[in-house]
Structure 1
Amino acid sequence: MKRTTILILLAILVGIGMNPRVSFAQEDELFIAINQDESLTETERFEMAKDGLGKALVLALEKVAQLTSDLDNRQFDEGTRGAELKALYLLDLVGYNTFYSEALATTPTLENLEAVQALAQKVKDYRDTTYTPGVENIVEFVLVFYSEDVLKTATERFEKISADIEKLETLGLIDAGVFTEQINSINTLLTDAGDLRLQASEIILAVQPQEATTTVETIASSTEAEIDTLPLTAETAEVVEEVAPRMLLQTSLGNVKSAYELFLEISNSVKVTLGLE
C-alpha cells in the first residue's frame, strides 16, 4: 500500500471513523423549519417532512448494510471471543435493519404531517436508546481490528526503513546518526500506538452487547469534561480506558499517521542526500 494511500486512510479513520451515528439532526431542523415557514401550505409541509424522513431512513439502512459488510469481511478463528462478538453484533444489525426497513415501508402510507412527526419521533427514540449505543460498540469492534492491520503495515515499513538507513550508513552514503531522532520518534509512536490499541482491544472484547450503554455511554457522559482536557498518551490512557476505547483507538491511529509523516520526511531527506532529487 502506498504511503499516500495509508495517510489518506488514516486521516479518514482518525477524522470520521469514530462517529457511527446516523444523525437525524438535519431532519429535526427540517421539521422546525417547516413548522416556522408560514409560506408553506399544509400539503407542502407534509410532503417535505415525509421526504426528509424517508431520506434519513435510507441513510440509516445504508449504514447498517456497510457495518454488516465490514463484519462479514472480518474472519475470526472458531470459538474465539472475536467470533462470538461478531455473531452477536450481526444479529443486532439484523434487528436494526428490520426496524428501519419497516419504518421506511410505513412512510409512504402516512397521511398527514402529524403522522410523519409521530413516526420520526419513534425513529429518533429508537436511535437514541437502541441503535446508537449498539452501533458505537460495533464500530469500535471493527476498528480495533482494522487498526491492528494498519499498525502491522506501519511496523513492517519501519523495520525496512531502519534497515535501509543502517545499510546507507555502513556504505558511508549518509552520516551516521543523522536520522536517529526521527527513528527514535517513530519507534515511540508505534510502540505507544500498539499499547493503546491493545488497551482498547481488551475493553472492547470484554463488553457484552447488551451492556453497551452502561459500559461505555453512561460512564463516558459523566466524565466527558475530564477526558477532553486529558492529554492522551500510552501513560495517561490507562486513566480513561474504561470510559472511551474509541479515544484510545483514535490516538493510536493518530500515532501511526504521525509515523508515516516521518517516513515521508526521512525518504525525502535521503533522496536529497543521495542526489536523487
Structure 2
Amino acid sequence: MCLSNCIAVRARPCVSLKRRSIHSIMKHRHIILFISSLALAISGGIFSSTSAHAAELPSLVNTAIAKEESVRHTQDATPELTIEQRKDILAEIITASQSEVKNLQEKLTILDLDEDWSLARKQFLTRLATSSAYYSSLEDRLTRETVTLDEVKSIAKELRDWRETVYTPELKVAGNMLLIYQTDDVRRIVQARNEKIANDIKKLDRQKLVNTDTLKKYLGQADKSIKNAAVLNTKAKELYFIETIEPLQSRTLHQEALTEVITPTDAVIAEEPIDTQDQVRELSKEALKELKSAYELFFKMNDRIRK
C-alpha cells in the first residue's frame, strides 16, 4: 500500500471523529438554545412581579380589616394608653391609608381601557380623591393642639365606621378592576412565551436532536392551563361588567328619568343587590393559579431538557 493510501486510511477515523464532534457540538448548541428559551420564560420574573401586583389588591382589603382592628384598639384601649399614644396609632393608620389610596390611583391611571371601563375608572378615581381628602381632614383634626381625649376617641370611631361602610367596599370594587386587567397582562405574557417554546420544540423535532414526547406533553398541559385562565378571567370580566360597569351606564343614560315624580302606586321597594365582587376576585385569582401552573410546567421542561 502506498504512503498516500496509508495516510488516507489512518485519516478516516480522524475525519469521522471530527464529524461526530461537530454533530455533538451542534446538538448541544441547539439544546442550549432551547434551554435558554425556557430560561427566558421562567426566570424573567414577569409572572411573579405582575401576579404580586394583582394579588396585592385583595390583600389591601385584608389590610383594611387589620387596620380596623387597630382602630378598635384605639377606641377600646386600656386606661394606660395615653392620648398621645392614641393619636400616634391613628396617625399611623391615616398615613398608611393615604399611601394605599395613592398606590391604587397610580395603578388605575395607567390601565388601557375602553370608553365604558374608563367611565368606571373615572368614578373610582373621584371616590379615591374624596377618600384622600377625608383622611386629610381627620389628620387636621387630630393634630390640633386643643384636641381632647374624647375627640380622639370620636375620630377613631368615625374612621372605623367610615371604612366599614364606605371605603372598604369601594376599595374592593376598584381593586377588582385592576386585578382583572393585570391578570390579562400576565396571561398574554405566558401565552407568548408558551408559543416561543412550542416553536423551539418544533426545531428540535426537525433536527432529531432529542426525544420531545415529554416536552410536548408538558407543553399541551401548559396550553390547557393558559386557556383555562383565559376562560376564568373572561368570566370575571363579564361578571364585573354586569355588576359594576352597566349600572354606571344606566345611571348616566337614565338620569333624567330618575328625576321624574313617582306616585305612591308606582313606587317599588328596591331589593338589596347581590354582592358579586368576591366572586369576581375569586375567578381572577383562579386564573392566576392556572397561569402559575403553566410556569411550573416550563420549569419541568427546563429540568427535562437538561437531563
On whether the aligned pair clears a TM of 0.5, the verdict is yes
- The reply to whether residue 182 of structure 1 matches residue 218 of structure 2 is yes
Query: What is the aligned counterpart of 1:59 among 64, 88, 96?
Result: 96
Structure 1 runs not aligned, ≥5 long: 221-241
Unmatched segments (≥5 aa) in structure 2: 1-39, 249-271
The answer as to whether partners of 1:81 and 1:205 remain within 8 angstroms in 2 is no
Pairwise CA distance, 1:25: 3.7
Are 1:267 and 2:302 counterparts?
A: yes
Query: 1:66-117 deviations in whole A, cap 9, x for unaligned?
Result: 111111111324xx21111111111111111111111111111263322111
- Corresponding residue to 2:84 among 47, 71, 81: 47
Greater fraction of residues in helix: 2
**2:72 touches 2:156 (CA, 8 Å); kept in 1?**
no
1:179 Cα deviation from its structure 2 partner:
1.7
Residue 107 of structure 1, aligned match among 136, 142, 164:
142
Change (3 A) 1:210 1:76: closer
Q: Which structure is larger by alpha-carbon Rg, 1 or 2?
A: 2
The 3 A distance-change label for structure 1 pair 94 and 209 is farther
Identity over the aligned pairs, expressed in percent? 20
Q: d(CA) in 1 for partners of 2:60 and 2:245?
A: 16
Query: CA contact under 8 A between 1:192 and 1:252: conserved in structure 2?
Result: yes
Q: CA separation of 1:63/1:191 partners in 2, compared to 1, >3 Å: closer, same or farther?
A: same
Counterpart residue number, 1:3: 42
**Superposition deviation, residue 28 in structure 1:** 3.5
Deviation, 1:245, is 0.4
Alignment of 1:1-277 (within 5 A): 3-4=42-43, 5-9=45-49, 12-13=52-53, 16-21=56-61, 22-23=64-65, 24-28=67-71, 30-31=73-74, 34-35=77-78, 40=80, 45-77=82-114, 80-109=115-144, 111-208=147-244, 219=275, 244-270=279-305, 272-273=306-307
- Separation in structure 1 between the aligned mates of residue 290 and residue 238 of structure 2, nearest angstrom: 19
Question: What is the CA RMSD across the aligned residues, in angstroms?
Answer: 2.5
Cα separation, partners in 2 of 1:142 and 1:243, compared to 1, 3 Å: closer
Q: Is the Cα–Cα contact under 8 Å of residues 10 and 254 in structure 1 kept in the other structure? A: no
Question: What TM-score do you get using the length of structure 1 for normalisation?
Answer: 0.78
